[in-house]
């Protein structure tokens, strides 16, 4: 069910979204990520849409490396609300994620991509969860035999 084509790193679009094409029984998703942004409530409120999508959260370690610690999806309430809660230690309910926020205060980063379809969101989340945490079960939409994902990121951060 899982395949990884080569990733191309190009940024010609200012639309940060997920697009899909289907061939036979396979889905091919292209994720156009937003630029990586430092998590700040005012920046999130002013730049992240209140629309459905997926997001990745990173912390910067002492060596300056970005480390993925959370993959989020948001449909109801939108990405803006999801990122605001997930980047504030006072509102984050998960103890592990709150500990990351406290330990790396001022060094939390995010990026996002919009997608309207919950089924497409499930397929993309399935792909990433299968890649990042194969032991964690995450269901896809069941519509396709194979799911392919290609990431496009202006900053050159490709995680798959």
Tens-place pLDDT, residues 75-121: 888 999 999 999 999 999 999 999 999 999 999 999 999 999 999 99
Longest Cα–Cα distance of the chain, Å, equals 47
End-to-end CA distance of the chain: 15
Q: Given a cut of 80, is residue 160 above it in pLDDT?
A: no
Q: Which range, 11-15, 53-57, 127-131, is most confident? A: 53-57
Query: What is the overall mean pLDDT for the chain?
Result: 88
More confident residue, 33 or 157: 33
pLDDT band at 14, cuts 50/70/90?
low
Q: Given a cut of 50, is residue 12 above it in pLDDT?
A: no
**How many CB atoms neighbour CB 26 within 10 A?**
14
Whole-prediction pTM = 0.84
């Amino acid at each position: 069910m899982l395949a990884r084509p080569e990733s191309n790193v190009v940024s010609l679009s200012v639309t940060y979204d997920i697009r899909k094409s289907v061939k036979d029984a396979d889905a091919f998703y292209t994720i156009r990520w937003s630029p990586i942004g430092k998590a700040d409530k005012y920046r999130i409120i002013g730049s992240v849409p209140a629309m459905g999508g997926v997001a990745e959260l990173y912390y910067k370690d002492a060596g300056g490396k970005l480390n993925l610690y959370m993959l989020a999806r948001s449909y109801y309430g939108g990405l803006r609300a999801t990122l605001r809660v997930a980047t504030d230690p006072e509102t984050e309910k998960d103890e592990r994620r709150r500990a990351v926020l406290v330990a790396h205060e001022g060094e939390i980063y995010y990026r996002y991509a919009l997608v309207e379809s919950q089924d497409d969101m499930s397929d993309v989340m399935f792909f990433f969860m299968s890649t990042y945490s194969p032991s964690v079960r995450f269901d896809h939409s069941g519509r396709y035999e194979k799911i392919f994902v290609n990431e496009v990121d202006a900053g050159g951060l490709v995680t798959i």
